[in-house]
Amino acid sequence: MPILTLTTDIGQRDYIVGAIKGQFVKLMPSLNTVDITHYLSQTNLPVAAYTCYNAFKYYPEKTYHLVLINVFESSLDYFLIAQVNEQYIICADNGLITMMLGKRPDEVVRIPVSRNSTLLTMTQDIAASVFKLEEYGKLSTIGAPATQIVEKYPLRPTAGPDWIEGQILFIDNFENVIINITRQDFEEHRKGRSFRIMFQRNESIEKLSSNYAAVPEHEKIAWFNSAGYLEISLRNGNMAGLFGLQGYNEQMQQSGVAAGNKWFYQTIRIFFE
């Protein structure tokens, strides 16, 4: 049974998501459709990439992943479909694929869609291409190779001999804060040394925990989450709101940014000793 995941910035207050699913199921009645999320930001590609990449890797081979993020940033007459790890990722040519993978995919083609049409007209064309791909099993049957695509890449942490600094990538519904420092980044720079994770001027965490139960209620905690990224939190508390932390904005590149009388911090620095 083929699987299609759907990830969008549409929300679920109207009929659009349901209509898109209907377009696919009408062509492929045995298709299993799965929602990832429909509440991503139109303009925050790093968060979309983080969400998609870390969800998609749990799906079986031959899964189709349709991502509708910032589709109308510019006029278009095609979508991209890339084969990645024996799965298929379908999205607009807006840099999301390279942001997600950290590289250009080896095999990617253009799916033609009706130019300057509505979203549902485009997704109907995409559904027809997926139906054809499911039948024939080769990308070459549904589109021409995409020799040039928009390439955007995620920000990387910066580092010196005794420190590493990352940007706040994502703040979840519980106001836990995810930083773009992976366990591999951390260990490569730590080299067995002790450390201090610094945020909001003089606040710090000096140990890693395995999960939230490892600290008392309302205690600060740092750990590497299931996606392998550094996460700082308050057990049963709101880390981002309490300490003035917010997602990184490339246009505001100071470590602290004033808004009214409140300071917001978008980067986290770890010192090694």
How far from the centroid of its chain's Cα atoms is residue 73's Cα?
Answer: 18
pLDDT tops 60 at residue 162: yes
- Measured CA to CA, the distance from residue 114 to residue 159 in angstroms comes to 46
pLDDT at 265: 77
pLDDT at 74: 75
Average pLDDT, the chain: 91
If pLDDT is split at 50, 70 and 90, which confidence band does 115 have? confident
- pLDDT category at 30 given cuts 50, 70, 90 is very high
Average pLDDT over residues 132-157: 93
Q: Please give the pLDDT value at position 249.
A: 66
> pLDDT for 239-259, tens place per residue?
999 888 988 765 444 445 554
Over range 223-240, report the average pLDDT: 94
Torsion of CA 224, 227, 228, 229, to 10 degrees: -70
Q: Which residues contact 8 (CB under 8 A, 6 or more apart)?
A: 17, 37, 38, 40, 67, 68, 69
Query: What is the arithmetic mean of pLDDT over 17-43?
Result: 96
Q: pLDDT: is 146 or 202 the higher one?
A: 146
| pLDDT level of residue 264 (50, 70, 90 thresholds) | low
pLDDT in tens, 65-90: 999 999 988 778 999 999 999 999 99
Count other Cβ atoms within 10 Å, centred on residue 87.
Answer: 18
pLDDT tens by residue, 176-198: 999 999 999 999 999 999 999 99
Q: What is the mean pLDDT of the segment spanning 101-107?
A: 94
Q: 162 or 250: which carries more pLDDT confidence?
A: 162
Side-chain half-sphere of 169: how many Cα atoms within 13 Å? 25
Domains and CATH numbers, the chain: 3-145 (3.40.50.10790), 158-272 (2.40.30.90)
pTM value is 0.89
